[in-house]
Amino acid sequence: MPKVAQRFAESAVARCRTGHSRTRAQRTAILASVMVQSGELDQAAQVGEQVVADAWQLRSTHVVSDVAQLVQVIDPSQSASTFRFVRAARQLLAVQPAGSVITR
């Protein structure tokens, strides 16, 4: 039930407290994953770009792992609309591979 999951994920992101950057990034990654399940790759890639932007400010293996997982499911589409996300995510992963950073 991806549409129901998407509503819950959107609500979770909206309720995230200021200063809880890692939690917001993780919830946003969940939202992007749900969008992939709904077949909304363009929107998932846009949301994924926000996760990548947030990940640059964090030192979290969880968030970097979430980015790596998003790349795995979004990259096979190889569409022009998902290219920016995949490129940005790979830049992050080249510097902070999943499992190599400290969780904060």
pLDDT value for 8: 94
What are the C-alpha distances in Å from 97 to residues 6, 34, 43, 91?
28, 23, 24, 10
Every domain of the chain and the residues it spans: 2-95
- Out of 1.25.40, 3.30.920, 3.90.550, 2.40.10, select the CATH number for domain 2-95: 1.25.40
Structure tokens at 7: 């509503």
The whole model's pTM is what? 0.85
**Cα 59 from Cα 45, distance rounded (Å):** 22
**Cα 102 from Cα 37, distance rounded (Å):** 29
**Cα 33 from Cα 43, distance rounded (Å):** 10
What string of pLDDT tens digits covers the 104 residues of the chain? 878 999 999 999 999 998 899 999 999 999 999 999 999 999 999 999 999 999 999 989 999 999 999 999 998 877 887 999 999 999 999 998 765 544 43
Q: H-helix or E-strand containing 93?
A: helix 80-95
